[in-house]
Chain A
């Protein structure tokens, strides 16, 4: 029977060389090294985010012997599998001919909130917006935020970070397959996903849902779209350690794993919004989308139906455009592709916009997305979850959102409204960028890929982190001076300016804790 199973797995190109050994909570990983080595095991890498190690054991070692160590919670094969389906990325005749054939609904492109902006989109600007970005009304939120400074990690095949539509937003990354190498895309899938999230608004090619975010490539899959569970978990770990606000995982497996589940849970608990593709087999939702803590996304056609290939089930949170999606491709190219892999980055980009509006807790981000979503009458809940997200509603929703603060040492109100953070009707420009531009501090260049293993800030922060924070302190004072200079006679604007300065200051501190010295 075992040989039959192994035969089937190998036929399907699924195999495991190493094992993921999850230790009991509180067990020091380093203290297990001796025991593991006594069993003949060779430590491959640590997955501290789930208190686990990846080990290569001799063939004769049975799992029962590993469990006999007494502090092992779970032993799993570190399966090497294909995480993305080739069939969802068909070769197409030519970009332009396909693009002309893309179905587009007759959307209302006018801005319906005149108090926020008098901007109108020109035909040239509208041509840059793919149908999916229009369908979720992302461009209607751009008057309030374009996701500036929000950190989005694409856990995938890498990103073509030299692509002209992505280069400006690329901020770094990590190659979990070979940490000595860059996360350059050698498949195309990750670059396509990245374009839907963050292609720049430059009247060329395409524009993403959140065109000003900081984009990070986390390469966990090889050129064939395959990879191990441990590489995927390592990628999630990198994203957590580097303080990503949002991660997109357009990858999936039918095989569940306790270690992958724990990694998703750890990311969610650390404050990362985790968005995952539901799967393309038309059946049940795949893993990791199925896990609590992940936002599972099914695929929508341009005629508002669920794509036939889309996986579905009670775990679906949203449905998003996933058929005939035009986006960036590796080698500086563009391509149209279909799949829940294309739907997921729409939601990841929308989540980034919500973060850009000042909401950082994953639960609160999801609540805003849920409140903005519109259910389609022709679809079941298991097909669409909460429906299609409408970014034009973000502003109104946040106006009414009260956010709790978790310490209240000054006896002031425990809640405060997000209303003021979003109210920018007095100025059409992005508020934070105004105060940033006026400060004579050079903006840092995107930092290089962080080496592995990542220097995780410890408690207490080290000297470098403290110095970085002191720079943030100084910069905050400059921001305040700038607010005072700009709005000496207008208390309302000055109040908003102070709030924005504090938001920028908070991000500066977070960046320091992420291991890089980035000033405001």
Chain B
């Protein structure tokens, strides 16, 4: 499990957020590696799939970047 704290903005107010990335786990049914990405901004967990551990983390990275890019999160915080 990886856990990151970051600052973001909501209603022009600076807030603290948390991002949790699970270790990639092989999903037997889907024959793929799955990573759980949890973000405190929307309190939702997202399953991101890849064909191997590295791939699943790469896609998780891309996912986070796209999904929460409007919140002013700085890369140095992550």
Task: Pick from B61, B66, B71: contact of A408, CB below 8 A.
Answer: B61
Q: Tell me whether A495 is interfacial, beta carbon within 8 Å.
A: yes
Residue of A with least CB distance to B62: A502
- Which of A12-20, A101-109, A455-463 contacts the other chain? A455-463
Q: Tell me whether A31 is interfacial, beta carbon within 8 Å.
A: no
Chain B contacts for A473, CB-based, 8 A: 44, 46, 67
Chain A contacts for B59, CB-based, 8 A: 498-499, 502
Residue of A with least CB distance to B46: A473
For chain A residues 460-499, which have a beta carbon within 8 Å of chain B?
460-461, 466, 469-470, 473, 477, 480, 483-484, 488-489, 491, 494-495, 498-499
Q: Are A406 and B58 closer than 8 Å at their CB atoms?
A: no
- Which of A157-165, A192-200, A321-329, A505-513 contacts the other chain? A505-513
In whole angstroms, what is the CA distance A406 to B61 when docked?
A: 10
Supposing A407-B65, A473-B44 touch, asked if A495 and B9 sit within 8 A by C-beta, the answer is no
Interface residues on B, range: 35 or more
Q: Tell me whether B16 is interfacial, beta carbon within 8 Å.
A: no
Q: Tell me whether B25 is interfacial, beta carbon within 8 Å.
A: no
Q: Are A484 and B75 closer than 8 Å at their CB atoms?
A: no
In whole angstroms, what is the CA distance A84 to B32 when docked?
A: 56
Q: Tell me whether A4 is interfacial, beta carbon within 8 Å.
A: no
Would you give the shortest CB distance from B57 to chain A, in whole angstroms? 5
Chain A contacts for B19, CB-based, 8 A: 409
Chain B contacts for A495, CB-based, 8 A: 50-51, 55
Q: Tell me whether A97 is interfacial, beta carbon within 8 Å.
A: no
Chain B contacts for A470, CB-based, 8 A: 44
Interface residues on A, range: 20 to 34
Q: Tell me whether A64 is interfacial, beta carbon within 8 Å.
A: no
Supposing A460-B10, A491-B51, A494-B32 touch, asked if A409 and B64 sit within 8 A by C-beta, the answer is yes
Task: Pick from B31, B47, B64: contact of A488, CB below 8 A.
Answer: B31
Q: Tell me whether A410 is interfacial, beta carbon within 8 Å.
A: yes
Q: Are A469 and B9 closer than 8 Å at their CB atoms?
A: no
Q: Are A407 and B75 closer than 8 Å at their CB atoms?
A: yes
Q: Are A459 and B57 closer than 8 Å at their CB atoms?
A: no
Q: Are A408 and B75 closer than 8 Å at their CB atoms?
A: yes
Q: Are B42 and A466 closer than 8 Å at their CB atoms?
A: yes
Q: Are B66 and A410 closer than 8 Å at their CB atoms?
A: no
Q: Are B55 and A457 closer than 8 Å at their CB atoms?
A: no
Q: Are B49 and A405 closer than 8 Å at their CB atoms?
A: no
Task: Pick from B12, B51, B58: contact of A410, CB below 8 A.
Answer: B58
Listed A/B pairs (16) with beta-carbon separation below 8 Å: A406-B75, A408-B61, A409-B75, A410-B2, A410-B21, A410-B61, A416-B58, A459-B71, A460-B10, A460-B71, A470-B44, A484-B49, A495-B50, A499-B59, A506-B66, A513-B70
